[in-house]
Chains A and B, each alone.
Chain A
């Protein structure tokens, strides 16, 4: 095992050395860094050219410059040495500083999108595998192929037009005409009718209920101008919480486990009480406090589950913990909605909240809630675009993995033992189907920090992809090398982790030392 890891790391280091040498030479030879001065008619043209030559050390041939760069970069390997030197970019800024900034930008952009895409993709994949050859399966398959074929910059322009400009115009006068409300309700009902499966009567009833509910809610929203002054309130949180409690218990423990259900319901009641208790506290919120509150919430949930016990204490704890987390999320969402009007009327936002470019409104003032909302409104479009294009592969992969597992002999054995369908799907099939997905996820997380070059360009986020592209455009090797080294190292480390995780999760796969 250790031999294997050491060998992998040494090979990786050698590959990295070779590839970085190539990347340096390629970047240096990709253009002329002095080009913009050559054609200029500025009187101090020669001086400008000289200073840039000096900054980029152009008198030294590129292969030698690589080794100069390498000697600086090698000092980054010394932990806490503080002498990390990746050179400077064309504007004279140290690369380590630029990388730090870009990394934060990129991670805020892609983390949420990746997590959401993984969750939604896996859920869709499992549902379509369980309903193989149903209308839902065909629909999702078609959508997956469609999303897979979309160029992201094309989606981005459409989102900007309809998601941002259209929605902002709508917010100016948030009234939904009756036919539109009915239409949206009908579409939602149709989707549900297709998705639930089963007999025609069942489909019709579920679809009808959803149609009525969605239409009525939209009409209500329109009447009270909900989109201007959104909010959930304790009543909605309580109702939604009970729904969440039932759904989570159904998935985690099965409704037959009464203790788990009771634990989840108790947690919901605690949540509604906490809703009133924490409001004054939330008014002085900081990010750290939210995280601490979240941990406390999960702790309370798990504790309740532990106290309730039942024939399977672990199931109760899991059900109550997840319920607590979700109810806490609802309370948080409600607090964000309370801050919405003040964000909406902020002098920098001027009633057009959904932004099309950038990572934040410049010079915005406000408390934690307003500032976080500002980040959200800037993230929402790129996140949607990224989810759309990366959803497809997760869905397809999970579906085929799940289908293969469902045809295995041990699934038949599980059924023959008389286990409930829930425990066959969730306990036997789902967990094993996750093994190959875990490796894909590890790869994707490794690729995360490379950023999404095109998404960052379209939405003007100055992240890693932007830094990289900018370096290429200016024939500036240092930022390109900085990004490349970061991306390559994480990608290699996560490849290794993926391989190790696979052999840890699936004992049939042995690592050859």
Chain B
């Protein structure tokens, strides 16, 4: 009995910091959100219970759904460019290549740099008037007029480029880890049977990589839907809401001061938007999971 209490004491001592911090700063904020999404609450005064009114408002909120659409364009664009480049780099670097380690180090470098800092940098170098990208393009005679990289036409494209820049190295490394798990003798016996590089890629590399790729793509989808830091710093969602994504829209509801707009913070409505946003991300992740599992079975 004594020993049992002693063990209980030891367990509690070691677990309590984690449990307390997780409960207070991890779980409580979620419960807070689940409560206030049913209230009309602007941060002061008495919160007013309004039932499902916030959700009705979300359904009618054109700006929010526009931001959802933009999120899909942003995330989709980022994934479509990032994943093939990452996979290609991984396949190349998986072979014994002179300077391979150095190249791997260079490609992975963006992942250690703060998104905020590099966004400030991109903000200046993509500046249409005196940015270095336009300076370089005009020096090379590729364009005759400065390109308005952050204007209505190209802003989303520029933001996707910034996101790709920061992500390629990370997914390259994850793919590389998957590739290193493929037994080399498969390639050797394929060679003996006379298979060429293309056939080996389609018939060995891709199917053998599938389980890892499934996980990597899921991580990539979640990360690309969640990212809004660089958008906040480069375009702030503009021009005219063209690059507003759902998490940035949510942020602006909660911290309007930060964006320089004299609007009231909307904690109740923000909670509902936060909940809907999390459900959207969860649904996409779940859908992908189901689809990719089906695909895996087909192989």
> Do A and B actually bind?
no
Interface set of B (CB-CB < 8 Å, partner A): none
